[in-house]
Amino acid sequence: MGYVGRPIRRKEDPKLITGRGRYVDDLELPGTLFMAIVRSPVAHGVLKKVDYSDALKVPGVVGVIAGLKVKVDNRPENFPMAVNELLYVGQPVAAVVAKDRYSAMDGAEAVQLDYEELQAVIDPEKALQSKGVVEGKAVAYEREYVSGDPEGAINSSPKKLEMKLRIGRVYASPMETRGVLSVYDGNSLTVYASTQSPHFMRRFLLDAFGGRVNNLRVEQADTGGAFGAKLFPYPEDYITVEASLRFKRPVKWIGTRREDFVSTYLSRDQVHKVRFGFDQRGTLMGLTDELIINLGAASHGYYLGDITATMLPGPYGVKNVRVNVVGVHTNTTPLDQYRGAGRPEATFVIERIMDYIADEIGADPVEVRKRNLVRELPYTNPFGLTYDSGNYQHLLERAGEAYAELERKAQALRTQGRRVGVGLCFYLEQNNFGPWESASVRVRGDGKVSVIMGAAPHGQGTGTGVAQVVADELGIDIDDVEVSWGDTSQIGEAFGTYGSRSLTLAGNAALLAARRLKDKVRALASEIMGTDVEELVYKQGGVENPKDGRRMELRDVAKFTVASMGGTWNFKSDPSLEVTEYFGLNNYTFPYGAHVALVEVEDDGSVKVLDYRAIDDVGVVVNPMLAQGQVMGGIIQGYGEVFTEEIKYDDQGNPLSTDFSSYGLPRAHHSFRVSWEFMEEGKSAAPLPAKGIGEGASIGSLNALVRAVERATKSRITEVPVRAEGLVRV
């Protein structure tokens, strides 16, 4: 029996449950110095002077760095440190390096900043009317997407609606904060990091430091969650490396949680002014959206506006669409991706529209969606994305049954006077952001198989999934397959883990490498056995000749290659039992699914989820236990985004959410049971036809929960988070 499709327990776990994980703060080399960052205390200002003379007198302080400048795309001039303009609270201004973290902190407290405060702009809509928010600019990005004749289609529609929707700003909140350990030996630089992409990190660090080091290796430490927030270049990455080059000692920086709150890229934060027209039967005819995305004090999050815009039509057939994306600067922590990355925002908007159409024409929300759903695949959406495969109608029918079932439950509860409601969300997700990923499959001399992949998982369990795939392909015991990742010296190039891509891309690379490896094994074995290679077949962990029944195990072939030291190699086949493959797909994959929630809104406005159903079609599910883990975790994150989490600022730009009391991460008592089912109708075009499930639940959960609350309270909800204050029974 194969491993693919079974809930195999994780190979990653033994070290993590015994305290033997090695996260970046657990790593230390002799002589390691600790770095503390001095950050801007104001949201906007002219920086006049950084006086660190007192810091140098603090016992244990080795040195201070100020005024460091590195040119990085889509980052401000004042990067990685403020040099003349303070752009947001939390922006690095100086770094103090000391013998340990306590003295580094002492030193940081002794650094004096001389600055003149400037007017800060915090509200993205006000930013549109402002000048000089960040280095003289207010608008950072503009792009218009148009297809068909949206205005004409809306104007000629029998019914029209306009509304403004808002998606609040959130913090990814991995339980491990960001951290870096940089080690320079006078020649080579090795950087250990809490990251989603060591190879990408190597490339962006080489851009900055390539002229000063001869070799650069990045090693991903065990990484305590990321959710998109540990992917792109951060100021502290450059500052830590600079410190290790300057002081010629290993330098470690580990963000405190308060630092992480103000320095880790935040996400979502979009305003949508939509106008749409539809007919009496609920068919969406035309849609326009003025999309404002609050990029904060850098512009690198602009692409999230593009993803949102191009996915705005979702799984529906509307042809006439215009989205005008405007990315504005504010004096806040820069914006970038968080689990879902643009697709939760797009889905929230289009699903709100479907619900409003249903309400306006008094129709069932499932029926309205059915009417609009794309029926034939592949289908190219108004902005050129080609939806690949699946059966949206079938999944929606299944979701409709769940919806009807929960509606019946809700009816019964309503008769008892309880405020309950059911919400549905159908989602379509764009995955497989590439362009490709790498994997190497190697049979070691002892016959054990080692897989090295370019993907860099950090909790998803991809190592186990890939081991299942390779063990099946080679017909060997999964315990004989070891999967590793995260070290740029182990595999040439790679991208990492983000965008629900790892199993699809690295999984397929590993699968193809294992396939080619079997040919190598056959070729070498045929010479050892003295048979024609065409007569040999690879079967269950070995090669055999069906004619004479002779068989050689994979491990015996491997052992043969290393059996003796010295002598000569007298075979035509080379002795290597290693194959590396780089795998890319020429289209995105588009998983889809539906979430249905039954909630009760208590008199005090708190929301209890009474029943929750999630149905996904992500192609082949390699490990249903891991997939379900992604779904359950994503749903609670969605719950947090809808009810408990939001990054807020006061009018001066002071962050009001800087710890886990002022920022409400869901706790165990918020959790609820999720019942999950999956279909495998929409397979990807890859040899391993999986599509990815890392983000689906954080996309599908928003509207399901919001709609359920809306129905329970007979209100109209146009923004997340939904505040309990607004739901109190009056």
Partner 1 sequence: MKVIEQEQKAKVRYKINGQQYETEVEPRRLLVHVLRELGFTGVHIGCDTSHCGACTIIMDGKSVKSCTILGVEADGSEILTIEGLAQGEKLHPIQEAFWEKHGLQCGYCTPGMIMQSYWLLKNNPNPSEEEIKEGISGNLCRCTGYQNIIDAIKLAAERMKGQ
Residues of this chain that interact with partner 1 (CB under 8 A) are 9-10, 12-14, 16-23, 25-26, 59, 101-102, 173-177, 222-225, 227, 254, 256-258, 458-461, 625-626, 628-629, 632-637, 659-661, 665-669, 671-674
User: Is the separation of the CB atoms in 299 and 277 below 8 Å?
Assistant: no
| Closest approach of partner 1 to the CB of residue 104, in Å | 13
Beta bridge partners of 553: 542
633 in helix, strand or coil?
helix
In angstroms, the CA 75 to CA 237 distance is: 14
State how far the alpha carbon of 382 is from the alpha carbons of 151, 240, 289, 386, 723, in Å. Answer: 15, 45, 14, 9, 35
| Closest approach of partner 1 to the CB of residue 17, in Å | 4
What does DSSP say about strands 675-679 and 607-617: parallel, antiparallel, or unpaired? parallel
| Closest approach of partner 1 to the CB of residue 468, in Å | 14
| Closest approach of partner 1 to the CB of residue 90, in Å | 15
| Closest approach of partner 1 to the CB of residue 314, in Å | 25
Residue type at position 574: D
What does DSSP say about strands 215-220 and 188-193: parallel, antiparallel, or unpaired? parallel
Closest to partner 1 by CB, 204 or 663: 663
In a 13 Å sphere around the CA of 278, the CA atoms on its Cβ side amount to 26
> What is the token pair recorded at 171?
């913090």
| Closest approach of partner 1 to the CB of residue 635, in Å | 6
Closest to partner 1 by CB, 222 or 336: 222
- State residue 676 phi and psi, 5-degree precision: -120, 135
Closest to partner 1 by CB, 124 or 344: 344
Closest to partner 1 by CB, 223 or 573: 223
Residue type at position 149: D
Closest to partner 1 by CB, 257 or 729: 257
Closest to partner 1 by CB, 521 or 599: 599
Closest to partner 1 by CB, 25 or 472: 25
| Closest approach of partner 1 to the CB of residue 693, in Å | 13
State how far the alpha carbon of 13 is from the alpha carbons of 19, 24, 459, 627, in Å. Answer: 10, 18, 10, 16
Residue type at position 233: P
Closest to partner 1 by CB, 584 or 624: 624
Cis upstream peptide for 435 (omega within 30°): yes
Closest to partner 1 by CB, 65 or 598: 598
The region, left, alpha or beta by phi > 0 then psi within -120 to 50, assigned to residue 676 is beta
> What is the token pair recorded at 425?
């969300």
In angstroms, the CA 388 to CA 379 distance is: 7
Task: Tally Cβ neighbours within 10 Å of residue 485.
Answer: 25
Closest to partner 1 by CB, 22 or 729: 22
Closest to partner 1 by CB, 12 or 236: 12
> What is the token pair recorded at 209?
């430091």
> What is the token pair recorded at 633?
């975790």
| Closest approach of partner 1 to the CB of residue 209, in Å | 29
SS (H, E, C) 307-348: HHHHHCCCCECCCEEEEEEEEEECCCCCECCCCCCCHHHHHH
> What is the token pair recorded at 717?
């909800």
| Closest approach of partner 1 to the CB of residue 691, in Å | 20
Beta bridge partners of 423: 597
Closest to partner 1 by CB, 23 or 247: 23
DSSP 479: G
| Closest approach of partner 1 to the CB of residue 254, in Å | 8
Closest to partner 1 by CB, 24 or 271: 24
Closest to partner 1 by CB, 79 or 639: 639
| Closest approach of partner 1 to the CB of residue 599, in Å | 16
Task: Tally Cβ neighbours within 10 Å of residue 724.
Answer: 15
- Closest residue by Cα to residue 97 from 89, 88, 107: 107
Residue with structure tokens 């993205």? 124
Closest to partner 1 by CB, 24 or 357: 24
- Closest residue by Cα to residue 665 from 608, 619, 721, 589: 721
Cis upstream peptide for 313 (omega within 30°): no
| Closest approach of partner 1 to the CB of residue 220, in Å | 12
Closest to partner 1 by CB, 95 or 229: 229
Closest to partner 1 by CB, 540 or 662: 662
In angstroms, the CA 71 to CA 54 distance is: 30
> What is the token pair recorded at 381?
């959406």
In angstroms, the CA 508 to CA 540 distance is: 20
- State residue 123 phi and psi, 5-degree precision: -80, 120
Kindly state the helix (H) or strand (E) to which residue 161 belongs, with its residue range: strand 159-170
User: Is the separation of the CB atoms in 466 and 506 below 8 Å?
Assistant: yes
Q: Where are the alpha helices (DSSP H) in 161-290?
A: 198-209, 235-247, 257-263
| Closest approach of partner 1 to the CB of residue 576, in Å | 34
| Closest approach of partner 1 to the CB of residue 439, in Å | 21
Report the chain's C-alpha Rg in angstroms: 27
Q: Where are the alpha helices (DSSP H) in 219-295?
A: 235-247, 257-263
